[in-house]
Amino acid sequence: MKKIGDSLKKIAGDTSKGNSATSSSIEEALRQSQPGDPNCKICGGIGFVRQDLPVGHPDFGKMQICVCRQQGVELAARERLFRLSNLDAFDHMTFDTFKSQGRMGLADQHIHSLEYALSQAATFAQTLSGWLFLTGGYGCGKTHLAAAVANYVVSLGVPTLFLTVPDLLDWLRFSYDSPDANFEQRFEEIRNIRLLVLDDLGTQNTTAWAQEKLYQIINYRYVNKLPLVVTSNQSLEEIDGRIRSRLMDADLVTTVRINAPDFRTPMQDSSESQISSLPLLNDRTFGNFSLREYERHDPERQRSLESAFHAAQQFADNPRGWLVLMGD
């Protein structure tokens, strides 16, 4: 490696020959502005080196970070990712603070589901092997466990990116449109980050471009078996088919369905029957029901679905008698 510090110092000296005081002050200013170790025998404190390569080599003339500042660069990169992930807002979400018993007590099946989810998330954080897919209704603890995984591995120094899917796509759009941002560099960083956590898959309102970029990120990590955590309150059938097929790979993906009510809305009456599963379905409403036009059913099937939807709405407005829904 050729020291570029020698060249810079020579330039500084040549411009100030005959004036030793000025030359010394320039050299001292140069030394103080150098990002590397001033005692480094490789770069002389510059922080960069240029490899001695033949003309025509792809890396000819390119500056490389010196080993004396490699650790500092990696630390700065981790801190930038931490700020981008906004994990400060989730620093209270750890495995220790996860309450599998709920706020006011839960039925046994809910407790078992939360304990199983906690166990799977903790195991994943320790091994970073495969993917972890957390599903369930609103407020059941998916984001808490995903953040707990991220906080745990960040504490070990693992480069991690934690983002909701809408925020991720907004970040990519900004990088693509901004002349000051390097889109390709950021896109590669997301695809190759040691651990990627995508919260709230399915809540994004995407363009075709954004949906394609999201698929490219997930598919890249699938092909290269890079660890990924995904949370979603949607069923697999509602997720884009290409992404769904990757999430259904049992050899790679550990899927955990959390069967618990919304932690933010605890049961107000502890005597309420635990037999009813309605609290687990409180995210299913007429407002978010999908008529699945995108699946391009034959006209008869589509009319049947729409007829059932309208019949259910009418029954809810005036609940008299019985409503029986039949189908495959």
Cβ neighbours of residue 293 under 8 Å, at least 6 residues apart?
A: 302
CA 6 to chain centre: 44
Are 150 and 189 within one domain? yes
Residue 196, beta-bridge partner list: 161, 228
Task: Choose between 300 and 171: higher pLDDT.
Answer: 300
98, part of any domain? yes
280, part of any domain? no
> Considering the entire predicted model, what is its pTM?
0.60
295, part of any domain? yes
Task: Choose between 246 and 171: higher pLDDT.
Answer: 246
Are 8 and 54 within one domain? yes
Give the residue numbers spanning the domain of 196: 75-258
Are 213 and 134 within one domain? yes
Q: What is the pLDDT of residues 76-89, one digit of tens each?
A: 555 655 566 677 78
Nearest to 210 by CA among 167, 248, 241: 167
Residue 183, domain CATH: 3.40.50.300
pLDDT at 112: 92
pLDDT category at 285 given cuts 50, 70, 90 is: confident
pLDDT at 26: 36
Which range among 10-14, 107-111, 238-242, 300-304 shows the weakest confidence by mean pLDDT? 10-14
Cβ neighbours of residue 173 under 8 Å, at least 6 residues apart?
A: 210
Highest mean predicted confidence (pLDDT) among 64-68, 79-83, 234-238 = 234-238
Are 247 and 192 within one domain? yes
Asked if pLDDT for residue 290 goes beyond 70, the answer is: yes
Task: Choose between 178 and 268: higher pLDDT.
Answer: 178
Q: What is the pLDDT of residues 195-230, one digit of tens each?
A: 999 999 987 667 888 889 999 999 999 999 999 999
Q: What is the pLDDT of residues 137-181, one digit of tens each?
A: 888 999 999 999 999 988 888 888 999 998 888 877 776 666 655
Are 98 and 226 within one domain? yes
Cα distances from 55 to residues 52, 58, 59, 60, in angstroms, run 10, 9, 9, 6
CB 285 within 8 A of CB 163: no
Q: What is the mean pLDDT of residues 12-24?
A: 42
Asked if pLDDT for residue 38 goes beyond 50, the answer is: yes
Are 119 and 51 within one domain? no
Asked if pLDDT for residue 273 goes beyond 60, the answer is: no
- Write the single-letter amino acid at 174: F
pLDDT category at 11 given cuts 50, 70, 90 is: very low
18, part of any domain? yes
Average pLDDT, the chain: 78
Question: Of 65, 94, 114, which closes a domain?
Answer: 65
CB 110 within 8 A of CB 102: yes
